[in-house]
Amino acid sequence: MSIGGPFRDARHIQDDLDGLVGSLDRVAARPTRIEVRADATGDGWRRCSDLLADPGGFSRWRDALADWLRARYRIAGPAPGRTTACYVTAWYLRAPAYVAALLLHQERRVPSLRPEALALRTAPHGRPELTGVAVLDDSFYCLPLDPGAGRPEATVVADERQLASVLRARYIAHAARFVHAFGRVSPLGTHTLWAAATDALDTCLWWAGADSGDEGAGVAEAALVLQSRFPPLTSPSTLRSSGGTPDRSWTRRRESCCFTYLLPGRGECEGCPRLRPKPHAG
């Protein structure tokens, strides 16, 4: 399926370095764990708004994952429903979170994260994880010295703190539509879905720095965007360092459980909330 209109074909041809297409092209030229692009031509793309309008698409996504899990773990009966729901939740929310994190880190820009402005693609064979995100809207927020600040599709904000606030607000707005749609067909509660949304944003900001060779910058950007708890997100950034210089490494405490431990031979992941000490009763 090809998503986008005639305007996108014309823009893709022109050498538009100062626009958002130029930003996406520069991001795509560097190694990323999920493909990021400025068009959704070719097979397998689904506009996020279409998926949210038809929650049955999430059920089919979970069914494909369940088939893979049964084969991978030799499960005779149904795959655990909470596991398939949590994996699909994490994969979907990485679409807005990862593209926003990459553009913030590499370009100091925030694109439209509306479901109508994003498309995603999953692996056609094997584990049906998220493999691509396309941004289908020209608009972006940027800083005053951005080379594209004078463009009609640009909105200029005063500083990086305001840019982080825009990213957070746009991500929350998209996540709210996902929580509403997926909650209708999912065994997961609202708090669990918002905890997963928090994990996706914090993790993707961290990944954006690591994927670009500057993990520390990604950690700093996660602290900037999630400097405190912004409800309905469930926590500030939980990234923390372990070890000292030059052996410093980073880890984070998860807000949500992926329920991988329900699969044969698997236990809880590092940082799983199930492993936290239980509070003592007063």
Q: Give residue 3's pLDDT.
A: 58
Stated as kind and residue range, the H or E segment containing 8 is: helix 6-13
The predicted-structure confidence for 54-88, as pLDDT tens digits, reads as follows 989 999 999 999 999 999 888 888 888 899 999 99
Count Cβ neighbours within 10 Å for each residue of 82-110 and write b for 16 or more, e otherwise: bbbbbbbbbbbbbbbbbbbbbbbbbbebb
User: Which one has a higher pLDDT value, 76 or 15?
Assistant: 76
What are residue 132's DSSP bridge partners? 35, 121
Domains identified in the chain and CATH numbers = 32-262 (1.10.510)
CA 93 to each of CA 40, 128, 174, 186, 256: distance values in angstroms, whole numbers, following the listed order: 18, 14, 9, 15, 13
- Predicted confidence (pLDDT) at residue 199 exceeds the cutoff of 90: yes
Least confident of 41-45, 131-135, 141-145: 41-45
Crossing angle (nearest 10°) for helices 56-73 and 81-107: 110
